[in-house]
Structure 1
Amino acid sequence: MNDPAAVRVLLVDDDALVRSGLRLMLGGAPDITVVGEAADGSEVPALVDALSPDVVLMDIRMPGVDGLTATEELRRRADPPQVLVLTTFNTDEHVLRALRAGAGGFVLKHTPPAQIVAAVRSVVAGEPVLSPAVTRQLIAQVSGDPGQLGRAARARDQLASLGAREREVAVAVGEGKANAEIAAELFMSLPTVKTNVSRIMAKLGLNNRVQIALLVNDAGEL
């Protein structure tokens, strides 16, 4: 019998072998339960309604509704599940769109099982699955984007709505700093940093730290 307190995961990938492998590796974790599978993004809304997953492990490239569109639709919901994107990071430039839409991070399809399990646990805890180095690499890809000028103006307006302390915290998040580093740098307690990060996300309508980092970059603060 499944543990009702376990993290509920929905697998979305058009490759049945990939889904089977993911189910096998996640099934070994006592605190994670795979509650369903989908082969296309079009199946996701109904399955989320029926199964109430905590995390959707989402492939990007699918023949019908792709994972990017499905992620954007999910994250527009009032109480959406977390989304972990399945990607081949070095070749898939669309991961930025997924992160802007509110995905909690990404995992490579050939990531070791223990790291995939850890990634699921992290996004449920509200921690994006991106190291500071990867965050900086993603942000670097934004430069030269033809839509950057329009985003820059919007981002500056959004940051202007923050208090001075909140803005300092936002810039530190954009620099890829962890909460403990921010606390030490800004002479704040760890709970105060966490409160500021939560307040920033609420004020700006963002879902996670990666979106804060992208916004700060768009505003030209890095």
Structure 2
Amino acid sequence: MAWSKKQIADWKLANKKGDNVPRVSDVSQRIDSKWQPPEVDCLKINVDASLVEGQNSFTIGMVLRNHHGHFLVGKTLKFVGSVSVMEAEMTRIFEALNWTQEVASGRGVIVESNSLLSVRAIQQEQENLLELGDLISQCRTLLRSNGRMSIRFGKKHANKVAHMFARIPCEINSFTVTQSPPVYMLETIMSEILMI
């Protein structure tokens, strides 16, 4: 009992809120975990995928926002097929890069995904002979064809709105485009704008 009490007392002391100076790791983690706007006059597409085990389909959600964090348009796509998580991750990036050409109107666009493995696979110039190699190659081709388009990794906590879009009901092998966000997403979008 004495040892347990000492452990609790030590833990409380170590986590004491008395010194209002945040640790560097805490500050950088908070910054990385929130949605970051693109540069001025650029756009950002956050993208996410939703797979449900046992279902023969997966859904992709994409959200386009400007440097103020304002919602411009969202898109949900649903595909038939049972795929691996990595294939769904790579497909979502490919679809976002394709969509960029429709919605960007010559502006710079960042496609942000919370799949570090997928982003690195596209950014590395190594040939990939796995079954995803062709999809990776297509993503690289799209990026090379448009010098104003880039891809980067963003943490899951900074991708909440796209995550919610990936859960919007959609017919298989079709898509839904939304010019204004559903009401239940407004609070999340506004909180991200206020944190900019």
TM-score (norm: length of structure 2) = 0.26
Of structures 1 and 2, the one with the larger relative CO (CA 8 A, separation 6+) is: 2
More strand by share: 2
More helix by share: 1
Return the index of the structure with the highest Cα Rg. Answer: 2
